[in-house]
Amino acid sequence: MSVARFWRETLRRYNLGASKCPDCETVFFPPRPVCPRCAVHRKSIAKMEPCQLSGHGKVYSYTIVHEAADGFEMQVPYVLAMVQMSEGPMLTGQIVDVEPSQVKEGLEVKASFRKLREEGEGGVIHYGYKFAPASQAPKAP
Amino acid sequence: MKAAGVGIVSYGTYVPRYRITPDEIGKVWGVDGKAMGKNLNIHSKSVPSPDEDTITISTEALRVAIARGKIDPRDIGALYVGSESHPYAVKPTATVVAQAIGATPSLTAADFEFACKAGTAAIQVCMGMVSSGMIKYGVAIGSDTSQGAPGDALEYSASAGGGAFIIGKGPVIARIDATSSYTTDTPDFWRREGQRYPSHGGRFTGEPAFFRHVTECAKRIMSEQGTKPSDYQYVVFHQPNGKFPQRAGKMLGFTDDQMRYGLVTPYIGNTYSGAALIGLANVLDHAKPGDHVLVVGYGSGAGSDAFDITVTDEIATYDRSTGTPVQESLESGTPLTYAVYAKFRGKIRLSGS
Ligand SMILES: [Zn+2]
C-alpha cells in the first residue's frame, strides 16, 4: 500500500475513528458521510457525527493463518478475526498476545496499538489496531 | 531547582506480555544462567512481540494515562518521548504517538535521547513549560525495546516497556517539589550510528558511572531540600539490573522497605528509559496521601535526574480501572524459549533480508 494511501487512513487505523447517524444512532466504521440505513438518506447528509470506538468487542468468527502473508513470517501461526465492536461495527483484525488454540467465538478483546507492516528494512512503518484478549493473568515463569 | 505548583496529573505504563529467564538464555551460551540471574537479581525479563516497538509501547502507556486522568488530548501542549530505541533514525516517535492519541496538530513534540534517562529529562522540560504557563499539560514518556548482543551480559537484562506521565498544574495526584541533575562526560555505554547492538565499558559501568552519578545527584537534591533518607516513604532508582539500585540505596542509607515498590527490574528486566518511570508508577499504585518519594534516574554518558515528590489527597480518588497495574505486570507473563525469543527479536535472518 502506498505511503500516501495509508496516511489518509490514519484517523481510523490509529484512533478507530467512526461516524454515528444522529437519527437511527447506527455507528459506522469506517466512517460514512451518509447513513445507508435510514430511508431518507438525504436527512443524514452533513449530520453524521464523528465518534471514536471504545476498542472493546467480541470475536464473531476467526481463522488461524499458517501460510504467512508477506511480512508476517515471524508471527505464524496467527489469528485473524472478525470482531463485533461494542458499538456495533464489525472489524477485521489480528488477535495478538494469545495462543491460537485459546481463541473462541465470543472471546472478549480490546484494541491494541501495533505495527501492522514495514515496507522493507528502509521503508515506512505502518501502525494501527490489532486486538488482544481483554483480560488475562497468565502465570509468570 | 525548586518547582512550584507542578506535578503528576496522571500516569500509565505498558509492559509487553512475554518473558524469558536468565536460565533459558544461559543454556544457549553455555553459561550458568541461574547464577547469572542471581548475580544480577533478575528472575525474568520482558520481551516485545515482533509487532511491538517504542512507538506502540509509548502509545499504549499514554492511552492508559489519558483514560485514568480523563484528559482531553487537545489540552496536551507538549509531548516528548525519551528512548534509545526509536524505530526511525529520522522521523519522530512523538508524532505517531501524538496522532494516535488524538492530540495533533496543536502541540509541540520531539524525541529525546539520553540513554536510560531520556524520560526523566522529558519530565523536567514539561515541568518548565507547565510552570511558565506555556502549556496546560505536558506528556513525558520513557520507553524502550532494548537489545543486548547475543551472549553479552546485557542480554540477560535488556528488556522492553514504558511509562507515560502527564505533567500539569492540577489537580495533581503527586506534587513535584524539586528536581536536580548531575551530568558529566563519562563513556560507560554507547552505540554508534548504524550499529545494531550497544557497547559498554564492562566494569567501568559501575563506580565512576552509575554509582557516582546516582549518589551525587541524590545527595544534591536532599541537601537542597533539607531532607534525609528517613524522610522518604519510598525511593526509586534507575535499575539496569536488580543489584545496582539496591547497592546505591544502601550507600545512601535507604532501607529495603523504602525500595520495595520502586524495584521492578528483577521481574521485567531493564526497560531502560522506562525503568525509573515504571518503578515510580508502581510506587504511585501503592502510595497514600502525604507519602514522600525520591526518584533518581540515570543515563549512561552520563547523567542523573532526581525528583522530590509528595503524593497528594487526589490519589485517594484517582481512577486506576484502566490499564494493567504494575504489580500485575511483575507477576504475570508468558514464558518464551530462547528460539522463539531470538525469532521475536529479529536475531534470526530470513533469506533475502
Ligand atoms: Zn441512520
Q: A10 to chain B: which residues are within 8 Å by CB?
A: 99
Q: B99 to chain A: which residues are within 8 Å by CB?
A: 10, 14-15
d(CA A60, CA A104): 9
Q: Identify the helix (H) or strand (E) that includes residue A112.
A: strand A108-118
Q: Supply the pLDDT for residue A71.
A: 83
**What's the N-to-C CA distance of chain B in angstroms?**
50
Q: What is the 3-state secondary structure (H, E, C) of B21-71?
A: CHHHHHHHHCCCHHHHHHHHCCCCEEECCCCCCHHHHHHHHHHHHHHHHCC
Q: A136 to chain B: which residues are within 8 Å by CB?
A: 332
Are the C-beta atoms of residues B112 and B84 closer than 8 Å to each other?
no
Residue type, position B89, single letter: A
Q: A75 to chain B: which residues are within 8 Å by CB?
A: 49-51
Q: Supply the pLDDT for residue A137.
A: 52
Closest Cα of chain B to A40: distance in Å? 33
d(CA B36, CA B267): 14
Question: Vertex A18, ends A104 and A114: CA angle to 5°?
Answer: 55
Question: Is A97 in the B-facing interface, judged by CB distances under 8 Å?
Answer: yes
Residues of B with catalytic function? 84, 116, 238
d(CA B161, CA B273): 9
Instruction: Find the farthest-apart pair of alpha carbons in chain B and give their distance in angstroms, rounded.
Output: 61
Count contacts between A and B (CB, < 8 Å): 74
Please identify which residue in the block is written with the cell numbers 509541540.
Answer: B108
Extents of the domains making up chain A: 17-52, 56-133
Q: Where are the alpha helices (DSSP H) in A1-141?
A: 3-8, 10-15
Q: Where are the alpha helices (DSSP H) in B288-337?
A: 326-331
Q: B334 to chain A: which residues are within 8 Å by CB?
A: 97, 138
A58 DSSP β-pair partners: A84, A108
Ligand 1 geometric centre to CA of B249 (Å): 63
Q: Which of B96, B267, B333 sits opposite A127 (nearest CB)?
A: B96
Size of chain A, expressed as the number of residues it contains? 141
Ligand 1 geometric centre to CA of A40 (Å): 9
Closest Cα of chain B to A29: distance in Å? 17
Q: Supply the pLDDT for residue B352.
A: 56
Interchain CB distance below 8 Å, B59 and A113: yes
**pLDDT tens column, B196-246:** 888 887 766 778 899 999 999 999 999 999 999 999 999 999 999 999 999
Q: Supply the pLDDT for residue A89.
A: 97
Ligand 1 geometric centre to CA of A42 (Å): 10
Interchain CB distance below 8 Å, A74 and B328: no
Strand boundaries in chain B, DSSP class E: 7-14, 18-20, 45-47, 76-82, 108-112, 137-145, 160-168, 174-186, 189-190, 199-200, 234-237, 292-296, 301-311, 334-335
Question: Is A84 in the B-facing interface, judged by CB distances under 8 Å?
Answer: no
Residues 25-44 of A with CB under 8 A from B: none
- In chain B, the domains with their CATH numbers are 7-344 (3.40.47.10)
Q: Supply the pLDDT for residue B285.
A: 98
pLDDT tens, N- to C-terminus, chain A (141 residues): 577 887 888 878 999 999 999 989 999 999 998 898 886 767 777 789 999 999 999 999 999 999 988 888 889 999 999 999 999 999 999 999 999 999 999 999 999 999 999 888 889 999 999 999 998 655 555
d(CA B265, CA B236): 11
Record the cell numbers describing residue B228, joined without a space: 534525609
- SS3 of B288, please? coil
Question: Is A8 in the B-facing interface, judged by CB distances under 8 Å?
Answer: no
Interchain CB distance below 8 Å, B44 and A73: no
Q: Supply the pLDDT for residue A90.
A: 97
Interchain CB distance below 8 Å, B51 and A75: yes
Ranges of residues in chain B with a pLDDT under 70 are 203-204, 351-353
Q: Which of B19, B50, B100 sits opposite A141 (nearest CB)?
A: B19
Please identify which residue in the block is written with the cell numbers 499504585.
Answer: B285
Nearest CA in chain A to B16: A97
Q: Supply the pLDDT for residue A136.
A: 65
A28 DSSP β-pair partners: A19
Query: Which DSSP state fits B207?
Result: I
Ligand 1 geometric centre to CA of A25 (Å): 6
Question: Is A102 in the B-facing interface, judged by CB distances under 8 Å?
Answer: no
Q: A111 to chain B: which residues are within 8 Å by CB?
A: none
**pLDDT tens column, A69-109:** 888 888 999 999 999 999 999 999 999 999 999 999 999 99
A84 DSSP β-pair partners: A58, A90
d(CA B212, CA B186): 11
Nearest CA in chain B to A55: B63
